[in-house]
Amino acid sequence: MVSESIYLVFGLAAAMYIAWNLGANDAANPTNMAVGSGVLTIRRAVLLFSLFAAVGALVQGYMVIKTIGKGVVRDIPPLGALISSVVAGLWVTFCTYKGIPVSTTHSTVGAVLGIGLASLYRGFKASINWGVVYKVVLSWITSPLAAMTLSIILYYSIYRITMHYARRGADVEKWLRILFIPALAFSAYAYGSNDVGNATGVYLTIASRVTGMPDRTTMFFLALLGSIGITIGALTWGYRVIATVGFRITRLDYVSGISAELANALCVWLFTTVPMKLFGYGMPISTTHASVSSVIGVGIAKHRRLSDVNWKTVAIIILSWVITVPVTAGITFVICTLTGA
């Protein structure tokens, strides 16, 4: 019989792999606007992202770690946690290699659902917390719409403000370039607070049990581990998806880029924070959804023509979103059922 300590060691290694995938695939979410509009180089944007994503993970990461660890499935078994990490990680690696901004959140939640479905198959009817699942799925639908709406509103607002000051002779481009830095930092912070749970959340139960630490302390150390992995992923493979979202959906200028950046940041931060206050669980939304939807929104607002958005790229991205949950849930379910996890 393999001890829980051994499962935890291998599990945390798998969590680092997931975190690496997060940094590699999702570094694009807070940085693509600054890079796509020409304000920052990819390297500088990734360095800024890594710093503030770590801060967000350590300060607010526990909100979504709790949801992944004990919200979707009430008690994740050690072997099931390990299997779900490997399945989700391999799927994200494949999509990252193809340059597709897949949702790591969907990958992780789908894999966790696979654990719960395997438990249901074996007769454990109370394993899945369907109330939390419904809220999570609803947030996946509302968050892209919210991000797109916010980006359109912000675009028109910022455009009017910049035009007003430009007519008065102000160097608005200079101030927009400066504004990109705190906007990207806020976006990275929001990202870290929401997405670190995807890497480490499934190990909350087993880590608390093995170490004897209270859940809140365990969540802090899990967030620290995840933030290290995210940083490594961003610095190694992050450029791949940044190029896809930053340049291939629509052309970004300073106004559209800053509008999309702020919309993405606000959307992710609000879905992390507000549900935690209301329901006790932060919503693990897809930061990829929020980011891409923000870029689409400003593309529509700027050009006022749907034809100015590269819908072929958008269609490939949406297809990857749609198939991710059934793919990771199905594979995890089969493996957990065969192994008895």
At 269 the pLDDT is 95
Q: How far apart are CA 310 and CA 244, in angstroms?
A: 11
Q: Give the torsion sign (CA, 99, 182, 261, 40).
A: negative
Other Cβ atoms closer than 10 A to 49: 32
Instruction: Report pLDDT digits (tens) over 159-185.
Output: 999 999 999 988 888 888 888 889 889
Cα 89 from chain centroid (whole Å): 13
Stretch 220-239: mean pLDDT, rounded?
A: 86
What is the reported pLDDT for 308? Answer: 59
Note the pLDDT of residue 148: 93
The predicted structure's pLDDT at residue 248 = 53
> From CA 244, how far away is CA 237, in angstroms rounded?
13
C-alpha 112/C-alpha 71 separation (Å) is 10
- Nearest residue to 252 (alpha-carbon basis) of 323, 151, 121: 151
Q: How far apart are CA 148 and CA 292, in angstroms?
A: 9
Query: What are 42's two structure tokens?
Result: 């990819």
Calpha distance 34→109 (Å, rounded): 29
| 3-class secondary-structure state, position 73 | strand
Q: State how far the Cα of 16 lies from the Cα of 274, in Å rounded to an integer.
A: 28
pLDDT in tens, 100-127: 667 788 888 899 999 989 988 887 765 7
Of the two residues 55 and 4, the one the predictor is more confident about is 55
pLDDT(229) > 60 = yes
Two tokens at 74?
């009430």
Residue 153, classified by CB atoms within 10 Å of its CB into exposed (0-12), middle (13-18) or buried (19+), is middle
Domain boundaries, the chain: 4-339
Instruction: Tell me if 61 sits within 8 A of 219, measured CB to CB.
Output: yes
CA distance 87 to 329: 9
Measure the CA–CA gap between 231 and 248, rounded to whole angstroms.
24
Q: Tell me, what amino acid is at 158?
A: I
What pTM, to 2 d.p., does this model score? 0.84
What's the chain's Rg over C-alpha atoms?
20
pLDDT reading at 74 higher than 70: yes
Q: What is the pLDDT of residue 1?
A: 44
| pLDDT of 81 above 90 | no
Answer for the pair 262, 154: CB distance below 8 angstroms, yes or no.
yes
Confidence grade of residue 143 (pLDDT, cut at 50, 70, 90): very high
Confidence check: pLDDT of 324 > 80: yes
Percent of the chain with pLDDT over 70: 89
User: Looking at residue 244, what is its pLDDT?
Assistant: 60
Axis-axis angle for helices 204-211, 78-97 (nearest 10)? 130
